[in-house]
Chain A
Amino acid sequence: MTSTGPNPIRVLIAKPGLDGHDVGAKLVCRALMDAGMEVLYTGLRQSPEDIARVARDEDVDVVGLSILSGAHLPLTRKVKQALHAEQVDDALLIVGGNVPKGDCERLQEAGADLALPTGTTMDEVVEAVRREVKR
């Protein structure tokens, strides 16, 4: 974990489900760290409940899910439910990975505050987190 300046944005990057592609998740971690945020990374194969628990314990501002298997809709729904069950209702839920543009709206219906489709650059991710986290 790195931090610069007082009261940095705290982000949890999580890999729900079974998908083992973590290049993108780790790139986003580094980009957010470089932008001065505090970043936690869960590692692979986390259950929605595990993710929600870490989000609660670490009091994060943002939960970012990285999903490349195509299972982004059911997994987002489940993580949203788990977050709610842990009463983590104020953290932003952002979903990225292999997400077709056409699914972004459906992801928001599934509980994501923001969906970042395939092709989103690291700068755009950083910018989106800064914009969306109101503090």
Chain B
Amino acid sequence: MKEKPPVVWESGIEIDAVYGPKEVERSGGSDGIGRPGEYPYTRGIHPGMYRTRPWTMRQYSGFGTAAETHERFLYLIKHGQTGLNVAFDLPTQCGLDSDDPMAEGEVGRVGMAVDTLSDMEEAFADIDLNAITVSLTINGAAAPIMAMYFAMARKRGYDIATLRGTAQNDILKEFIGRGTWIFPVEDSIRLVGDTIEFCAHEVPKYSAVSVCGYHIRESGANAAQEMAYGLAIAKAYIDHTLARGLDIDDFARGLSFNFDIFGNLWEQVAKFRAGRRLWAKILREQYGAKNPKSMQLRMIAGGGGKGLTVQQPLNNIVRGAYYALASALSGTQTMALCSYDEAYTIPSEEAARISLRTMQILMDEIGLCDTVDPLAGSYFVESTTNAMEEKIVEIMDDLDAQGGIVQGVSSGIVQAEVNRQAYLQEQRVQAGEIPKIGVNRFVEEEEEREVEFHPYSEQEAVKQIARLDAVRARRDGPQVETLLAEVRAAASEKRNVMPAILDAVEAYATVGEVCGVLKEVYGTYREPVRF
């Protein structure tokens, strides 16, 4: 009989044909999994999980001007979405105003254009910020955008001391993948530290950072690397913030996570259970955290774009459902799915609604909320959770031995490693070694199909620039200048810049102006290109 090839996961973990008690013991046993809601949280961070706290559904959305985005927000809320995940256009993400020459052709294209507080006010008008939690997908320009969100909430009468929500604000992963960096690495980390410190004191319920393994895996990392790099990045922010004299329990609960799902279902489950347990151990054992909230890995885990295909796009609906299933089986707090048309355009209303319905079907129809962590105790799941934890630790140790994540990102070796993996994967997909239905198996000659593309009109940019001009004309110019000078002073004296930025944006300073004065002090990042 011909020997079948071994089954090996993307992360390099070899899978046995059958698992039993012996395999669990050999992998490290299952005594350490604990109960749900108890250290080390292998089984989830809440005792009742979805019985008491169903996951939040939060599709990524935003395009055009604030007015258009506001309409899509209302549409999603009307259809049962319970949180908002805001997409900003590239000029906003890169800290440029809509009338900057580099912004031409990009205003409002891949997300909502935000220049001033006035755009933020319009986008969230009449939306109850206590009932709908908002996640801001902003990184390089996180400081002014977070400040605008807080300023908007304050103007509407909310007490920011009780305001909830999340900013992505994970700059280290932007250097690895996604690319919306602005300032050099060290200054960028200091800026993240400023937001963490500011939130710890002024906006304590707010998650100042959502550390993203997601984009690192989208850029080529495997599942174990995704978790390892993500945890390493979170540790870098912790180390920086501790050096400011804060106590770990003052701010660690404000760090949340964003992870990717595609590929092997069981590998994702093991990744999440292992990552959650490892994070708890790191916080308690390495950082001496005492507050359980500091040790709990809270996450948004959603269907990743990399799993989707432009070929036979309706298959992406099916893929999305399985990714959502993996997420629910892994104890996520928040879920978002890339929509079926997202391989080639900004999701249509219909595609966004199908993603939302997918999550609702999982929640209401098929029993995923019946009991907590239904996979616990499975010989296979517990063994692979142990194996995955070992793998993640190995990668983190390796990274430390090479000088750590910050140095690795600065020199570009982390990017080169992720890129190398991406190339290997792509070669394996093209050779058919990694099966992809519609791409290297069951390929169909596809008719040139009619697809609905998200319309983009230069008119939106013209409107946005006119809006910006109007705000500039109406605001108190000299006061804005004074407040921007204060931002510049805070940055050059290495004081926390957030209070000054909040004052400046409250007076309608623009994203580009705030980032502009920070660039004067910090300079801009220069990308190390290495293969």
Which A residues lie at the B interface, using CB under 8 A? 17-23, 26-27, 29-31, 33, 41, 43-45, 47, 69-71, 74-75, 98, 100-102, 118-119, 121-123
Contacts and interface: CB of A to CB of B under 8 A. Distances in A.
A78 to B, nearest CB: 8
B36 interface: no
Interface in B6-22: none
A43 B419 CA distance: 13
Tell me the dominant secondary structure on chain B's binding face. loop
Task: Output the residue of A23, A100, A122 with the most chain B CB within 10 A.
Answer: A23
A97 to B, nearest CB: 11
A101 to B, nearest CB: 6
Given A45-B94, A122-B426, A18 B106 contact: yes
Contacts of B178: 20-21
Contacts of A41: 529, 531
A70 B110 contact: yes
B75 interface: no
Report the 7 A-B pairs with minimum CB-CB distance, sorted nearest first: A20-B179, A18-B90, A74-B105, A43-B527, A71-B105, A30-B423, A44-B179
Interface string B501-531: 0000000000000000000000000010101
Interface residues of B, number: 40
Interface string B100-140: 00111110011000000000000000000000000000000
Contacts of B177: 20, 22-23
Nearest to A31: B423
B220 interface: yes
Given A18-B94, A20-B174, A100-B453, A27 B103 contact: no
Given A23-B422, A70-B456, A18 B102 contact: yes
Contacts of A122: 426-427, 430
Contacts of B451: 100
28 contacts: A17-B90, A18-B102, A18-B180, A19-B106, A20-B177, A22-B177, A22-B179, A23-B419, A23-B422, A27-B426, A30-B531, A31-B423, A43-B527, A44-B179, A44-B527, A45-B94, A69-B109, A69-B110, A70-B346, A70-B456, A71-B105, A74-B104, A74-B105, A100-B451, A101-B448, A118-B344, A121-B430, A122-B426
B310 interface: yes
Contacts of A33: 531
A1 to B, nearest CB: 9
Contacts of A45: 94, 102, 179
Interface in B159-200: 174, 177-180
Interface string B198-231: 0000000000000000000011100000000000
Contacts of B82: none
Nearest to A70: B109
Given A30-B531, A71-B109, A118-B344, A18 B174 contact: no
Interface of B: 90-91, 93-94, 96, 102-106, 109-110, 174, 177-180, 218-220, 310-311, 343-346, 419, 422-423, 426-427, 430, 448, 451, 453-454, 456, 527, 529, 531
B343 to A, nearest CB: 7
A123 B90 contact: no
A23 B90 contact: no
A13 to B, nearest CB: 10
B313 to A, nearest CB: 11
Contact of B310 (A19, A29, A44, A119): A119
B91 A18 contact: yes
B218 A23 contact: yes
A47 B105 contact: no
A43 B524 CA distance: 14
Contacts of A29: 531
Contacts of B90: 17-20, 69
Contacts of A19: 90, 106, 110, 179
Contacts of A47: 102
Contacts of B218: 23
A9 to B, nearest CB: 17
Contacts of A118: 310, 343-344
A27 B91 contact: no
B179 A75 contact: no
Contacts of A26: 419, 422-423, 531
Contacts of A30: 419, 423, 531
Contacts of A75: 105
A80 B421 CA distance: 33
A50 B346 CA distance: 29
Contacts of A70: 109-110, 345-346, 454, 456
A4 B8 CA distance: 35
Contact of A17 (B105, B311, B419, B422): B105
Contacts of A20: 90, 174, 177-180
Contacts of B419: 23, 26, 30
Contacts of A101: 448
Nearest to A40: B529
A123 B343 contact: no
Nearest to A41: B529
Contacts of B343: 118
B219 A23 contact: yes
